Structure 1
């Protein structure tokens, strides 16, 4: 079945059923073996993402040695990643083998709200994680005086709260609009751009507001991160020993990689000029920062961090096994 024929069929199915209110979330239009392979790949990545980020949360909660601001922030970030992928991936997987692919208007707007809110919170968490690294490297003697438990908790709460207060207005406004046409969203998630295309009358102000909010929550924390790491780089270059420089860079390396992956893909989807193959490009890039980045985060942080490796081994029981081998019980 061709893509065009499939869209027409879905559209006719939707329009002929008066009991269905909402949209058709088209998703990926692959068929046959390609569809099955993509489904298995995404399901595997989703499960590994849950396990990887869940392991980091357990490691930070159970190992008191790493109850420091850096790892508390990392645990919250991992929880955020789990919530982030869960808002979209289960629906995405279910629609692979769905004939109608129908999602209600309220369901679509809820997905947009939570997906966007978790994304906004992620931008803020990346910014305060950069601030934490700045204090550790540039103000080491005052680190524990500045980054107190009270300040850490306030920063964490503010990230969650501001993230969830960033997008309710656009979601409420969009819910009041009327929609015409086939009501097919040619995307893998309920994003504002393909939704607003389906309105009965153009809504440039709403589209501008959504774009402005997305740009602000991306650009402002990103500028803060760039400024923070500029100061960190200047401080590191003043360290006389090569070993000290390598240690300083290693504490920031994981975070820089995560920032590059997240912001690189997010800015491509929200801030690039429109092209002819808009829908397919949006799907691929959205899939990358929706699934691949959260999947890679636990690997990036655990592989480059000795303390996190030790904590994960403790959670998995490897530490107890090594202690038994090193200090075997006597057979008396």
Structure 2
């Protein structure tokens, strides 16, 4: 079994990292945060989440592999290779060995049963597909891809959300990037007949349930694990950094609806504190996940996940 595997109840969870490193500055990514909070918590934010010398925000792009009730389930699929990404040049044209890393974790593409896209952003859907003979095709040929209906509607370049003209150049670039993401990572899944659109809640099996958690995007979701006495929630991009645990009102710069995103974040952190759920964000380096407790108007981290630091 991989050293990056932990077990909760009857579910094994393995982390497979596609990319790791700095992305912009901490207060670019979490623009509402203040320098004092980062510096007061420097002892545990550095070096996994923050590099004080240049204020760089650090993150992992990673996939969580779940084995539950005899099936293999992937939670988010990273950036992918060979992509055109004008909105994020840092991740354009990647050539990573992610498929080999999956195989090293014991996962062959044809053995994947379910792919969960917590939302449709470029770094969560990339390995949905791969480029073969000049065409984008599903990477996991036997998988059912669970895609939030609200995001599918919102990001579809032919959908009603893109009927008006962009407001400014920033929005134009963002929309063009979203169109590329949809066309190379989502549309091929539909053409292959492997997409399952869901809304509200969606039960995967006796241990795993998807729940709508909008704000970051209209269709953002969380995957809740309940197995025996163990609890966990895969929260996607609800938490880009642990400083958002300390102050749940602080959004990332990528949140589509900041007011709703902050409310959703506070709701799920309250539940995690009350039910002692392990909170598993999409992008945290280090141990990758943590337990939390209520601390005044915010929350505090109480214990890291039983995974090696990366």
TM-score (norm: length of structure 1): 0.27
Q: Which has the higher strand share?
A: 2
Of structures 1 and 2, the one scoring higher in RCO (CA 8 A, sep 6+) is: 1
Greater radius of gyration (CA): 1
